[in-house]
Amino acid sequence: MRDERRSGCPINLTLEVVGDKWSLLIIRDMIFGNHRHFRELLLKSEEGVSSNILADRLKTLVEQGIIARTDDPSHQQKVIYSLTEQGIELLPILAQMAGWGRKYLPVSEELGIRARLLQEGGPAMWEEFMSELRETHLGVAPRDRGKSGGAPVAERLQAAYEAVVAQRKPR
């Protein structure tokens, strides 16, 4: 998986970095679920990644500069994984994938609602979301979000998801 260089094609190179079964799912959980700790990524994963794979991918993603690994000051053993700018900019790829999957594959309603909002919001919403990620992951000072839809994108996505879940399981 590592140390490859099959060709200098940008698509191929991207696939060699994040083209395996798990890397983009881990990035997804960090972006949309705000999962920042090992056990959080391990246990809250929809798909059930195994711990050795998760450890290996996190290590690789750190080496590639897509995420960063820092100590959690609140606990001597805890570690915080953060997205780098490079990782944040994977969002448009995920958004396009989500849109395509929603159109052509049997997506579940509760997991498709975020994809729908992202698709409707378009690149402008992706940019706004990326700005928010820069605040939470890079510590960048918040720009004033002017003409946006009010609440942060992350909150809007989460609220929509919970609304669908509440509707489907009334009690």
Q: Which is nearer to a copy of itself, 120 or 144 (CB)?
A: 120
Interface with a copy of itself, residue 25, by CB under 8 A: yes
Residues 6+ apart with CB under 8 A from 162: none
Phi, psi at 6, each rounded to 5°: -60, -35
Residues 6+ apart with CB under 8 A from 34: 136, 154
Residue 27 tokens read as: 């990035």
Q: How far is the CB of 21 from DNA (least distance, A)?
A: 5
Query: Is 162 a binder of a copy of itself (CB under 8 A)?
Result: no
In angstroms, the CA 127 to CA 131 distance is 6
Binder to a copy of itself among 34, 51, 70, 96 (CB under 8 A)? 96
Q: Does 89 bind DNA (CB under 7 A)?
A: no
List the single partner that 125 binds among a copy of itself, DNA, none, CB under 5 to 8 Å by kind: none
Helix (H, G, I), strand (E, B) or coil at 69: strand
Site residues (CB under 7 A) for DNA? 1-2, 20-22, 37-40, 48-53, 55-56, 58-59, 69, 75-79
